[in-house]
Structure 1
Amino acid sequence: MRISWDKLKNSDEQEWKSLFRQHAEFLYAYGMKFAHNEDLVKDLIQELFITIYEKRNSLSEPTSMRAYLCMSLRNRLINEFKKEVTVPLEEGDCSFSLYIDDESADEEEKQYKKIQNLLNKLTNRQREVVYLKYFKGLSNEEIALTLDINKQSVANLLSEAIRQMKKDASFILFLLLILRRILGL
């Protein structure tokens, strides 16, 4: 269901509930990949929605609501990390962890560990792009908006990540995991 920006601007309660229901879980999962702190992520998501509500009349309609919310949460997390760190922190220094949190049978545990090792060999940015693309289904354009980079950079990061993963035999397991998630098996 597409969210109506006009209804949001007019404080339509049902539209705000829909916005939250459609994106809160996704934002939580995305935020936890950075922070690993449930309370912080929940607080920042709540603050994000409050800020959007308070500034709804001065904000322009985003091209992609999901990408806009993702980028906003990411920026809030980076700002929180900057508050906690006494040495200068660059935006790219923020660690993005991609852990497969699928409850699996013991037989599959070894496969998931191989895939996890494969993903751990990628850079933070590559892991983040792979997560957004293959685990959350964002388009390259939405990923570019989220990460504040151009679409070509997204394509390059994905290409490099896949090239690097193909060197490892575990890549086949990664592809099977992605297919399983896409097909809902």
Structure 2
Amino acid sequence: MINGSESAFSELFELYNKTLVNYVYSFVKDKSMAQDCVQDVFMDVWIYRKKLQSTVLVKPYLLSAARKRLARKLERDHIFFKSTNTDNIEFALDFTIEYKIIADEQQLAQALKLNEILNKLPARQKEAIYLRYFQGLNPQQISEILEVNYQSVNNLIHRAVVHIKSQWGTDFSLLLLLISSNI
């Protein structure tokens, strides 16, 4: 893609477009704005592809670019008093469960319980959990996306996990299974 391969760019777009649109949508709840921001990100990637390093980690880079693009768009639209970051925007993703992959009633009940617990987390913790366990990013990558230090990310994740464990109850092994299967 860096060398101008349109098919590689198309593959990149197909691979990450939905994830990025969902991520941006979780902030603004406006599908059209989310799609516009993501299209702008991909347009910039194509235009400035020669300046990209071949060692860049694609998913964290694109998530960060989408978050920054949204902040710039909101600043331009004067929605958040010329904010240059997304600190004023609440990460509002509601975790949902893929009911079709949950076969038995007990597992479904536990998945619903986890869904409820995750959705009650503070916005910043919810975003950190989303990026860590649902997007598979490491704390360093998350710190770059959220523009906070590494320790802050670890603290956010730790507080979220402690809260989840306290709300969950005794059988923590099933909780880990549910989270690791991205439910």
TM-score interval, normalised by the smaller of the two chains: 0.7 to 0.9
Q: TM-score, normalised by structure 1?
A: 0.78
Correspondence 1:37 to 2:36? no
CA distances 1:3-34 after superposition (whole Å, capped 9, x unpaired): xxxxx232112221222122222212222222
Count of aligned pairs between the two proteins: 175
Cα 1:86–1:137 change in 2 (3 A) is closer
- Equivalences for residues 18-167 of structure 1 within 5 A: 18-61=11-54, 63-82=56-75, 83-85=77-79, 87=81, 89=83, 91-104=86-99, 107=105, 111-167=110-166
Post-superposition offset of 1:122: 2.1
Once the two structures are superposed, residues 66-104 of structure 1 have per-residue CA deviations (whole angstroms, 9 ceiling, x without a partner) of 111100101112233332526465632211123222242
Partners in 2 of 1:166 and 1:77 — Cα distance?
33
Which deviates further from its counterpart, 145-154 or 39-48? 145-154
Q: After TM superposition, give the deviation of residue 35 of structure 1 in Å.
A: 2.2
Change (3 A) 1:164 1:88: farther
Per-residue deviation at 1:109?
6.3
- In structure 2, C-alpha distance between the alignment counterparts of 1:112 and 1:80, rounded to whole Å: 36
Large movers: runs of 4+ above 6 Å: none
Cα shift at 1:61: 4.5
**Which ranges of structure 1 fall in alignment gaps of 5 or more residues?**
1-7
Shift of 1:155: 1.5
- C-alpha displacement at 1:129, in angstroms? 0.7
Counterpart amino acid of residue 145 in structure 1: E
* Counterpart for residue 15 of structure 1: 8
Q: CA deviation at 1:111?
A: 4.0
Q: Which moved more, 1:128-137 or 1:90-99?
A: 90-99
Scaled by the length of structure 2, the TM-score of the pair is 0.79
Instruction: Please list every run of 5 or more consecutive structure 2 residues that lacks an aligned counterpart in the other structure.
Output: none
Listed as ranges, the matches of 1:168-179 within 5 Å are 168-169=167-168, 172=172, 174-179=175-180
SS at structure 2 position matched to 1:9:
coil
On the 8 A contact 1:48/1:72 being kept in 2, the answer is: yes
| Contact in 1 for aligned 2:97/2:112 (Cα 8 Å) | no
